[in-house]
Amino acid sequence: MTECLFCKMIAGEIQPDTVYETDDVLAFRDINPQAPTHGLVLPQRHIATLNDIGTGDTELIGKLYLAAAKVARDAGFAEEGYRAVMNCNGRAGQTVFHLHLHVLGGRDLNWTPGSAASIHAGLGAPWDGGVVWAGEFPSQTGW
């Protein structure tokens, strides 16, 4: 038996609140929603992180995004807007290591997901409470 929470859901050992399912994709409501509607869309096959996908996974990744769009349409907020995002590894907030898209909608979603103070702290720069994005990447990012 696998220890992956999402694999247990796929195997039927744990019952998620499923909103969409195909042979390749499972989508269900997040138990810790960060928006009025917060779904998770994942492949039926275990892939730990975005770093683990390969060129043979392009069709599957496309199916995840098509499923995300369907979830947004079915929830009634596709036209007004939503966010579909993947976190990769712990520092980005991935807590279940089975590739998945978060589909968030039903409210205004500001960018960036982190606070301005935490963004500047990550760049090693103090935050003065001013504008975070000034049109150029700070040199500390290595871009």
CA distances from 13 to 7, 16, 25, 26, 55 (A): 9, 10, 17, 14, 31
CB–CB of 19/63 below 8 Å? Answer: no
Q: Which among 98, 100, 102, 120 is annotated as catalytic?
A: 100
Catalytic: 100?
yes
The residue type of 65 is: Y
Whole-number Å distance between alpha carbons of 85 and 114: 14
Q: Which residues are catalytic?
A: 100
